[in-house]
Amino acid sequence: MYAKQYRDALKSTRALEEQGLTQMKSQVSSLADYPKYQAVLNKHIPATEAQIGRLDTALAELDEGASGLKEAVTKAAGAIGAAVHGTSGDAVLKNLFAGYAFQYDQIAAYRSLIVIAKAAGHEAASTAFEKSITEEKEAAEEIDGIIETVTQRYLELSKDKG
């Protein structure tokens, strides 16, 4: 029971993680002037890759792969989001805010996924998803801790630009 819902939730959560990974990878190289922010992303990229691996493991247990179309669309959305923010003068702040909110979106997705996994009889997978929640909370806390610092650095770098 609930096998379809579990499969769909796994694929959706994986697509969400792919979107986040695409956004982080597209941003990190442009953050040389924001080393603390760059460090947070560099730390979270491998964690995100591990989370995708956990989701792939759960999908493999169902003899399922990631939904190619859904994954492609969400990766494109991540790239477009980063590109759109990248065109504005305050792109670093917009990306920071979006990344902060995105962590909580992922936390909510994993919390829901755990409920669905248990209902579908895949309680063992919950431990892996709990680890992902812990990683997402750590990333959110790290972003929370640099908002003022990144904003101050943004002001310093933009003061001569008018």
The boundaries of the domain holding residue 145 are: 3-161
Reported as a pLDDT band with limits 50, 70 and 90, residue 50 is very high
pLDDT band at 157 (very low <50, low <70, confident <90, very high): very high
Q: Check whether 6 has a pLDDT greater than 50.
A: yes
Q: The dihedral of CA 114, 119, 120, 124: what is its sign?
A: positive
- The total domain count for the chain is 1
* Contact call for residues 58 and 118 (beta carbons, < 8 A): no
- The domain that contains 65 carries what CATH number? 1.20.1260.10
Enter the tokens of residue 3.
Answer: 């096998």
Return d(Cα 45, Cα 59) in angstroms, integer: 21
Whether residue 9 is predicted with pLDDT greater than 80 in this model: the reply is yes
Return contacts of 82-90, CB within 8 angstroms, 24+ apart: 82/22, 82/23, 82/26, 82/27, 83/26, 86/26, 86/30, 89/158, 89/161, 90/154, 90/158
